[in-house]
A and B are shown apart, each in its own frame.
Chain A
Amino acid sequence: MADPHAEPAPLTRPPRKKRHPLSGAIYEELPGNRVRVIKGEAYGIFDGFTTRHLEGPLTYADPHMIIWVGGKAVEGMGHRAERARGLEIVHD
């Protein structure tokens, strides 16, 4: 059985990290599907799938930004040359 206190496996790719274009808060992906949000002096750590607060004095952050930074990666994405061709300019 997996040890619930074990350190999460490190990310196998560079972490996603974004500045929120409206609030200016920094959202950074952590191992174990978590997201650290830093806003001013405060920080919070959130579950990257459910957006639930896990630790830190900042208890609420933009759930959609948390999902974007912390959500599951898409296999095969991140090939820079392919994306730079401009074929993946998407919104829904």
Chain B
Amino acid sequence: MALKTVGDQGRLTSAGYRSAGTLYQELLDQDSRPVPPVLRLESPIEPGVTRVPAEQYFSKAMHDREVEKIWKRAWQMACREEDIPNVGDYIVYDIAHLSFLVVRSAPDRIQAFHNACLHRGRQLREFDGRGAQEFRCPFHGWCWEIDGSLKEVVCQWDFPEVNERDYRLPEVQVGTWGGFVFINPDPDAEPLEQFLGDLPRHFERWDLANRFKQAHVAKILRCNWKVAQEAFMEAYHVVATHPQLLNGIGDSNSQYDVFGNFSRAITPNGTPSPHLRDTPGQQDMLDAMFDRNLDTPPLAEVPPGMGARQFAAMLSREGMRAVIGDDADTYCDAEYLDSIYYTVFPNFHPWGAFNRITYRFRPHGDNPDECIMECMFLAPWPKGEPRPPAAPIHWLGPDDDWADAPELGMLARVFNQDTFNIPKVQLGLKTMRRPEVVFASYNETKIRHFHQLYDRWMELE
């Protein structure tokens, strides 16, 4: 007997099987403004499902291999440039058991060092700091300038072979893009610009360097870092995990694309889910977007002759006008409404247009069953005014509620739905009978693309 298809029945297109709902490019045809070419780009992954061994998500051996093959070799986002605005400001960037000091050593220079004293190996710093003039080891007092040159050795007469040349702090590569600071511990790694490929071109209209970090929340989760990030790389989960959104979100008709070392999804808002049996009215779509409750008046009413999508874009455009002035008119409806979410291998997720989200996922120490999920909000600020200071990290423990971070607004409650699942995924992966998980040909494009790159970096092919 044929398997029953639930919800979106799908259809065969010239590009392969896609949603039976309105395709994203068709939605763009209805935009009230000219649509930028970057949203017209289509670069689908080759069709076919991807199977991944479950043990990749919990094996300590796989974690150890990730440290050697990925975290010691890949470009990774360490912080924002605005996190270290002044000379001597530094952050401690930890990934698995590796630790790096990222410091602004001169007004226009950022350097990064292995965070360990060259005498007995103690970490030089455990916490972020401001205005350092030197890095003195708290154990025996060896000291380095903030540019990594050796400054002082206590009882230097007792170390006749220690010299300035051989005992500089070992440096790692640094690159910047979009206001982010990236590091790479591999001295032979390709330049960041080459690794990112076309990514800067995609963000030409949405210059993340000219956004300030409005919020930064980090939470420890009881799951592998890949389990967590894969929960944020597709809209396929919306039908089951965020059902309250369905009247106003195009989930299974999202568009997915792959480009070199990064991928992209675009999930339209202000349009109904193709899973719904009955098409909701325009007001129903708007109500879903604004989380209207039954028995309460609407937050806004869709004017006659206008669709929810166009109206919501107009509201958002007018809200943004207060910040960016009449430049607000140069952006199309899709740029105000849609979720345009990129993934740069291995763990960096900047969002495009005016959605403020950037995610980072990383292992929590050497425990493959835990990770750190971070969400930054990057927002524009009013023209002519000084850049607001970057928000510090607000840490949440594994048992804290996302709503304890009110700076995330409604997104905190959305995260509670997501993170209700993922510790249970981590447990389920260890007890499932089949030895592998399976990812959808199209709707899980970004995860499939990640695993293609992962296998290559891990030398598993």
Interface residues of A (CB under 8 A from B): 14-22, 26, 51, 62-65, 67-68, 71-77, 80, 83-92
Contact = CB atoms under 8 A, between A and B. Distances in A.
A67 to B, nearest CB: 6
Contact of A86 (B315, B408, B411): B315
A65 B232 contact: no
Given A71-B416, A74-B409, A92-B411, A87 B319 contact: yes
A76 B406 contact: yes
A18 B206 CA distance: 35
Interface of B: 232, 235, 238-247, 249, 267, 269, 273, 275-276, 280, 288-291, 293-296, 299-300, 312-313, 315-316, 318-320, 336-337, 339, 355, 357, 401, 403-404, 406, 408-418, 420
Contacts of B241: 64
A91 B293 contact: no
Contact of A20 (B243, B401, B414): B243
Given A21-B246, A71-B413, A87 B316 contact: yes
Given A18-B244, A85-B318, A91-B242, 18 more contacts: A17-B295, A18-B294, A21-B247, A22-B239, A68-B244, A71-B403, A72-B404, A74-B409, A77-B409, A80-B299, A83-B410, A86-B313, A86-B316, A86-B318, A89-B289, A89-B316, A91-B245, A92-B415
Nearest to B277: A22
A46 B418 CA distance: 19
B146 to A, nearest CB: 38
Contacts of A91: 235, 238, 242, 245, 249, 267, 269, 339, 414
A43 to B, nearest CB: 16
A74 B248 CA distance: 22
B399 to A, nearest CB: 11
Given A68-B413, A71-B413, A19 B316 contact: no
Nearest to B415: A92
A42 B404 CA distance: 34
A72 B412 CA distance: 10
A65 to B, nearest CB: 6
Contacts of A75: 403, 406
A67 B408 contact: no
13 contacts: A14-B296, A18-B294, A21-B243, A22-B275, A63-B420, A64-B242, A64-B420, A71-B403, A74-B409, A83-B410, A86-B316, A90-B414, A92-B414
Given A20-B243, A64-B241, A77-B406, A85 B413 contact: no
A78 to B, nearest CB: 10
Given A72-B403, A74-B412, A84 B267 contact: no
Nearest to B272: A21
A89 B317 CA distance: 12
Given A22-B243, A91-B267, A92-B414, A72 B401 contact: yes
Contacts of A74: 403, 406, 408-410, 412-413
A62 B241 CA distance: 9
B154 to A, nearest CB: 50
A87 B415 CA distance: 17
Contact of A77 (B294, B336, B410): B410
A30 to B, nearest CB: 14
A69 to B, nearest CB: 8
B461 to A, nearest CB: 31
Contact of A19 (B294, B299, B409): B294
A58 to B, nearest CB: 17
A79 to B, nearest CB: 10
B243 A83 contact: no
B406 A92 contact: no
Contacts of A16: 293
A76 B235 CA distance: 28
Contacts of A64: 240-243, 417, 420
B403 A21 contact: no
A85 B315 contact: yes
A36 to B, nearest CB: 13
Name which of B312, B319, B355, B357 has the most chain A CB atoms within 10 A of its CB: B319
Nearest to B320: A87
A20 B294 CA distance: 11
A83 B290 contact: yes
Contacts of B243: 20-22, 62, 64-65, 68
Given A17-B295, A67-B416, A71-B401, A90 B409 contact: yes
B411 A90 contact: yes
Contacts of B411: 90, 92
Contacts of B294: 17-19, 26
